[in-house]
Amino acid sequence: MNKYKKLAFNTVVFAIGSFGSKILVLLLTRLYTKYLSPADSGVKELIEPTALFLQPIFTFALQEYLIRFGLDKNYDKRQVLTTSAVITTIGMLIMALIVPGLRFVKALDFLSGYSLLLIAYVTMSSFRMLCQQFVRARDMVKLFSLDGILATLTLFIFNLIFIAGLHMGVKGFMLAVILSDTLSAAFLFTMGKLKNYMGIRYFSGELAGTMMKFAGPLIPTIVMWTITSLSDRMFIREMKSDRVPLGEASVGIYGYANRVPNLISMVSTIFFQAWNMSAITENDSADRSTFYEKVYGAYEALLFIASAGLILLIKPVTAIFVNTSTYSEYGEVYRYTPVLVAAVLFMSLNQFLGSIYSATKHTKNSFWTAFIACSVNIVMNIALIPVWGIQGASVATFLSYFICFWARIIDARYYVPFKFNGIKCFANTVILLVMCVIAVFEPALWGLWLFILTGVICAWNYQALLITAKKLLHR
């Protein structure tokens, strides 16, 4: 199977396994907005990124090195899995000693009463990731996708039991995730026959060192991306303003405003799971640059078209996923989503460009570009949140991803040179931002203007999709 067809096949398989499950997760937002108050939702929205912050630190960027070395034919898969499992286990033990003390840090006092659950949350999520990434490394994409469906179903059921049924609030949410991840890890371990790849005799100290050298720059990179997300919520919670409402309830509203843009992230994640495998396996191919150019062009076009369409339909789409029957405060969520849609678009493009650093093993560059994003985000949060409140956090997030994108599109093409139309990308961005302003402020005939601008973006970008599609069909 040639590289284009394999990429398309894997994308379709991941889409089949992920689309329904991702939609189901988004629909859980209706459950949360019905049974969790804005304040409780604020705690939930702080705990989730905190877990994402801890995971790469104590797994030593497991999600990056396992897929990279697992797909590399020069390494024994038994050594890769066993060594990764040992590293992860040691990391989880260290984390269990440190996390209980975090609740005494003033900015992290929301962890009080949740420390043990957080340890279990991160631990089971990490072991599930271990199994997931190794299954992908063995090219078992169908099993990976099936697990995604089953894990989401169990997550949905456990949320119904603990939140809607037992009214356990944030603790119910955490228990649902822990149990779902536990069942998922057990399913993948059994069906993927991972026991055949594990044994202490397969542990390699030399490989562990190689993995750590590769993953070293990626740990702070992943952490900084998480800080970009967590800092928004922390600043909204802790900062004071006489002009706009802030605090824990505002954190909850901001968290749900991020849910609708996840529709774009969903498309991106499905594609990236397939693309990351292709980027690694095709790293040494003769026509690598052409491959990147065609795929990137279609990917960028798809993201702009999808983002414009989502902004056009932002109010009805938000109404589907956010329940305002119990807490009317959630009725304002849609006003903060358009800018976050634009932010997620550039986050997705950054993810694509980051795959170049992983495939070519220039992970230090991934670090410094992520550092730029993190720095911009923190500075902009401090400047904008006291003035614009939740919307300030949305704008800060967009600016951080946007600036990081331009740093990466310039830098990454030194390692994999491919053609990029910067003027077209910038013009697309301007149109999208105009749509954001229209969607937020709703001037006269705002719906008509959004429809016209969506048409402009579609007309301007569809050709890149057709070119790649024709190339795929021709092959």
Asked whether 315 and 334 are in contact (CB, 8 A), the reply is yes
Is 250 exposed, middle or buried (CB count within 10 Å of its CB: 0-12, 13-18, 19+)? Answer: buried
> Which tens digits make up the pLDDT trace of 425-472?
999 999 999 999 999 999 989 999 999 999 999 998 988 767 666 655
* pLDDT tier for residue 132 given thresholds of 50, 70 and 90: confident
Q: CA-CA distance, 158 to 175, in Å (whole number)?
A: 8
pLDDT value at 370 more than 90? no
Which of 475, 467, 439, 466 shows the shortest CA–CA distance to 454?
439
Q: Residue type for 217, please? A: P
CA quadruple 254, 256, 258, 260: dihedral sign: negative
pLDDT value, residue 4: 52
pLDDT tens per residue across span 54-63:
888 888 877 6
Top-confidence residue, 270 or 334: 334
Mean pLDDT within 130-157: 85
Q: Cα–Cα distance between 264 and 246 in angstroms, integer? A: 27
Say if CB 53 and CB 121 are below 8 A apart: no
Please, what's the largest Cα pairwise distance for the chain?
A: 70
Question: At 459, which amino acid appears?
Answer: A
Q: What pLDDT score does 358 carry?
A: 73
List CB contacts of 110: < 8 A, sequence separation 6 or more. Answer: 43, 46, 47, 237, 248
pTM, rounded to two decimals: 0.76
The CA distance from 180 to 50, in Å, is 19
Residue 48 has pLDDT above 70, yes or no: yes
- Mean pLDDT, range 158-162, rounded to an integer: 94
Instruction: Say which residue, 218 or 365, is predicted with more confidence.
Output: 365
Compute the average pLDDT of residues 105-132.
88
The DSSP call for residue 389 is T
In the chain, the amino acid numbered 330 is: Y
Range with the poorest average pLDDT among 71-75, 159-163, 255-259: 71-75
End-to-end CA distance of the chain: 10
pLDDT the model gives residue 380:
94
pLDDT > 70: percent of the chain: 87
Q: What is the pLDDT of residues 253-283, one digit of tens each?
A: 888 888 888 778 777 766 665 555 555 555 5
**155-183 average pLDDT score:** 93
pLDDT > 70? residue 14: no
Is residue 98 a contact partner of residue 53, using CB atoms and an 8 Å limit? no
